[in-house]
Structure 1
Amino acid sequence: MMGDRRIDQAALFYEFSLERHVPADHMLRSIDRFVDLEGVRAHLAPFYSLIGRPSIDPELLIRMLIVGYCFGIRSERRLCDEVHLNLAYRWFCRLGLDGDVPDHSTFSKNRHGRFRESDLLRHLFETVVDRCMREGLVGGEGFAADASLIKADANRQRCVPGAAGLPPEAASRAINEYLAVLDDAAFGGATPVVPKFISPADPASRWTGADKGPAYFAYSTNYLIDLDHAVIVDVEATTAVRQAEVGAVRTMIERVAERHDLQPARIAADTAYGSAEMLDWLVNKQQIAPHIPVIDKSGRDDGTFARSDFTYDPAADTYRCPAGKTLKRNRRAFRTPRPNAPPDDTYRYRASKADCDACTLKSRCSPNTPARKVTRSIYEGARDIAREIAKTDAYVTSRRERKKVEMLFAHLKRILKLDRLRLRGPQGARDEFHLAATAQNLRKLAKLIPPPVPATA
């Protein structure tokens, strides 16, 4: 039979438990176990006045931001609406049923003020990394590094030629931040090359066509991950050029060693990080084994002998050609001693013209020059070590494990919806990248660390 019509009749009293209405398997329950914000108030205390009207609880703002980045809610206006309506979000933010959700403008005010002045989001990220270490998710033996392009909040149709520079009447917070980082190795100082186009809305973003499609303005998010469980141990925002991305890896390795006392034995990365200077820094200054392909442009496609066909003798500091002749750096004594390091960081070894003239292999060695010349980088020793590592089984394993960082970037863009920045300027990029990396580590903790089993009666 048909049931009775339900009439909406307000009751005088309600008994409602917010705790009971949040499912036991909800992801926020697992994440909440690892969110430790006890130090947030102490960290921010110097940036609040001792008098005046009480402010919004900063812990509430941080919890709301964690919810937004864990569930891909990019808009702060929408985040406030979702927290207002969703019971699980209210439970996680400690709002109860009748707690007031702060206005969306509160986030902007605090972000541009005390959050950035205190570097709170970096502090929050490092706190989560420390928790991952205490839970045993960070081995510290092997790291991987890579960068991914994230579109900036800049219209590619509204740009000016890079050679023309910014118009003198242009003024904004993003432009002021750009001018402040012109000498920063991660942004303006990364390369002297003038970009093809500049965005007046976000001049620190870089015009790039690295994706082989239509060019756009972008930043690079750089990850340094531990290979055991793909925990992000450091993150850095840079402009979208290779020099800045390579420099970011150095910054992250040094920072992780200083703040977390982590010194890996090996690091895996792609060919973009295989420059001679980078390999030398890893091998000789950090004592880290580079599981990285070497950038080598010494091969030839005209059928003549390549540099690999010449044998280097480190004791005599000479090369020996396929015909058995010797190539030397200096074939005569100079009155003025030559500097040990050449200006372009490249040594040149030359064969004797008499040896080359009488050689039967000259047509395959130096058909267009009187004598053969071979160049060698001053960092060639580190490059040779990297080449030897590339022949080992451990290198093959590292190349396979390196894909974990690519999976994190895919998760960042597809699940957390961070394929385009919402904030502008270098500081905006740092804020978003720190929050996204924090959310990824929290989700990793929730997935890998099971909840405690309740004790039976």
Structure 2
Amino acid sequence: MRGGDERTGELFSYVDLEARVRRDHPLRAIRTIVTEALLALERDFAALYSPIGRPSIPPEKLLRALLLQAFYSIRSERLLMERLEYDLLFRWFVGIGVDDAAWDHSVFSKNRDRLLAGDIAAKFLSAVLVQPKVKQLLSTDHFSVDGTLIEAWASMKSVKPKDGSGEPPTGGGRNAEADFHGERRSNQTHGSTTDPDARLYRKGAGKEAKLCFMGHGLMENRHGLLVDACLTPADGHAERVAALHMIEPHAERPRAITLGADKAYDVQDFVNELRSMKVTPHVAQNTKGRRSAIDGRTTRHGGYAVSQRIRKRIEEAFGWIKTVAGQDKTKFRGRDRVGWAFTFSAAAYNLVRLPKLMAASR
């Protein structure tokens, strides 16, 4: 017989969240890795909170919720809390019960500075990578590096002369008109009043200048996982400076390692610095109207061609971070907050890829 379309309510709930999530769901393997990483950070979390006062929402739950925001491309924390209110999968992953109320979205704003002060994003990335089942997947000899632009959360109308000589926009309303025709602007003479840490940057000839930051990633070449990430102001030297900073901890080994990079890194000072660190520079040769800093003693080896082919995989990581995790145009202001979100998204990218990699390595 045909059932009736009637809405029924129950006084008591007997829903077991563990039973509602299928055994082969990808989030199960991810949650195991995340839980182990968060346990390793327990002392770091304890140092961020006062021993007295009312209990806070556990930072472990906040971080799990932020991971879901990255995994499922949820554009705001308000929508994340709305999803957490009714999605049983989200409740299971975060670690709250069926009858527990989702917290207010402002909790993230209140706790972001605390997590930022503890450098939790970088520590979480490291805690994931040092787990034995993850560490065995990583290469310790061959790496690649690159940078990508992160558009700032600021309008070009916020770019004003630093000496205060700019004329105010004309017209009424929130989005008043501004005429930039004939005005020369540079980072030396102008700055954004909305986000002073953002810098005007032009990606190439004929491209428009935008307010940007520059995100950097260090990738191991075996499986293309990010082993380090950071964010700097956008300028012409940032990529090379960040690359040296990220590769230095890995260069403190008796064996020489390799570092793949694109033509932007083909600079004599950068190449010499790598060689002084016993890092073989597998940098793409830039011979357009100039002499490359990479000569035959590097290019004649077969490993150079392999590095040049594999180094491009770092673009897959940047593509995921900017599109799926929503970092193409950041929602935060200030270098520290934007950098925290970028590094945390790098950890989320690794977590998305790890279940299949670990299954294939068994």
Q: TM exceeds 0.5?
A: yes
Match of 1:237 among 231, 237, 252: 231
Q: Distance in 1 between matches of 2:318 and 2:136?
A: 23
Instruction: Call closer, same or farther: CA 1:165–1:437 in 2, change over 3 Å.
Output: farther
Q: Which has the larger radius of gyration?
A: 1
Match of 1:246 among 240, 245, 257: 240
- Where 2:143 maps in the other structure, the secondary structure is strand
Structure 2 equivalent of residue 104 of structure 1 = 105
1:293 partnered with 2:294: no
Query: Shift of residue 278 of structure 1?
Result: 0.6
Query: Shift of residue 124 of structure 1?
Result: 0.8
Query: Shift of residue 207 of structure 1?
Result: 0.8
Q: Distance in 1 between matches of 2:218 and 2:3?
A: 62
1:49-448 correspondence runs (5 A)? 49-112=50-113, 114-131=114-131, 134-161=134-161, 164=163, 194-195=187-188, 197-210=190-203, 212-256=206-250, 265-283=257-275, 285-295=276-286, 383=293, 386-448=295-357
Query: Shift of residue 387 of structure 1?
Result: 3.8
Structure 2 equivalent of residue 373 of structure 1 = none
Letter of the 2:143 partner, please give it.
F
Letter of the 2:126 partner, please give it.
E
Q: How many corresponding residue pairs? A: 340
Structure 2: 5+ residue runs without aligned partners?
Answer: 167-185
Instruction: Call closer, same or farther: CA 1:256–1:110 in 2, change over 3 Å.
Output: farther
Letter of the 1:20 partner, please give it.
A
The answer to whether the 8 A contact 1:234-1:252 is kept is: yes
Query: Shift of residue 40 of structure 1?
Result: 3.0
Relative to the length of structure 2, the TM-score reads 0.85
The answer to whether the 8 A contact 1:256-1:262 is kept is: no
Structure 2 equivalent of residue 15 of structure 1 = 14
Letter of the 1:44 partner, please give it.
F
The answer to whether the 8 A contact 1:143-1:264 is kept is: no
The answer to whether the 8 A contact 2:134-2:354 is kept is: no
Q: Distance in 2 between matches of 1:94 and 1:264?
A: 44
After superposition, give the CA deviation of every residue in 1:399-451 in whole Å (9 maximum; x if it has no partner).
11111111211222232232110111011111111110010111121221229
Instruction: Call closer, same or farther: CA 1:407–1:138 in 2, change over 3 Å.
Output: same
Q: Distance in 1 between matches of 2:286 and 2:214?
A: 21
Instruction: Call closer, same or farther: CA 1:119–1:240 in 2, change over 3 Å.
Output: same
Query: Shift of residue 293 of structure 1?
Result: 3.1
Q: Distance in 2 between matches of 1:262 and 1:34?
A: 31
The answer to whether the 8 A contact 1:132-1:445 is kept is: no
Query: Shift of residue 55 of structure 1?
Result: 1.4
- Where 2:350 maps in the other structure, the secondary structure is helix
1:27-66 correspondence runs (5 A)? 27-35=26-34, 36=36, 37-66=38-67
> If each structure's helix is expressed as a fraction of its own residues, which one has the higher value?
2
Q: Distance in 1 between matches of 2:254 and 2:106?
A: 39
Letter of the 2:116 partner, please give it.
R
The answer to whether the 8 A contact 2:15-2:98 is kept is: no
Letter of the 1:213 partner, please give it.
K
Structure 2 equivalent of residue 316 of structure 1 = none
RMSD over aligned CA atoms reads 2.7
The answer to whether the 8 A contact 1:125-1:434 is kept is: yes
Structure 1: 5+ residue runs without aligned partners?
Answer: 168-192, 300-307, 309-379
Structure 2 equivalent of residue 334 of structure 1 = none
Relative to the length of structure 1, the TM-score reads 0.69
Query: Shift of residue 47 of structure 1?
Result: 2.5
Structure 2 equivalent of residue 335 of structure 1 = none
The answer to whether the 8 A contact 1:196-1:207 is kept is: no
- Where 2:284 maps in the other structure, the secondary structure is coil
Q: Distance in 2 between matches of 1:19 and 1:93?
A: 12
After superposition, give the CA deviation of every residue in 1:198-232 in whole Å (9 maximum; x if it has no partner).
21111111111215533211111100000000110
- Where 1:54 maps in the other structure, the secondary structure is coil
After superposition, give the CA deviation of every residue in 1:255-307 in whole Å (9 maximum; x if it has no partner).
4457xx79761110011111111111111x211111113456775xxxxxxxx
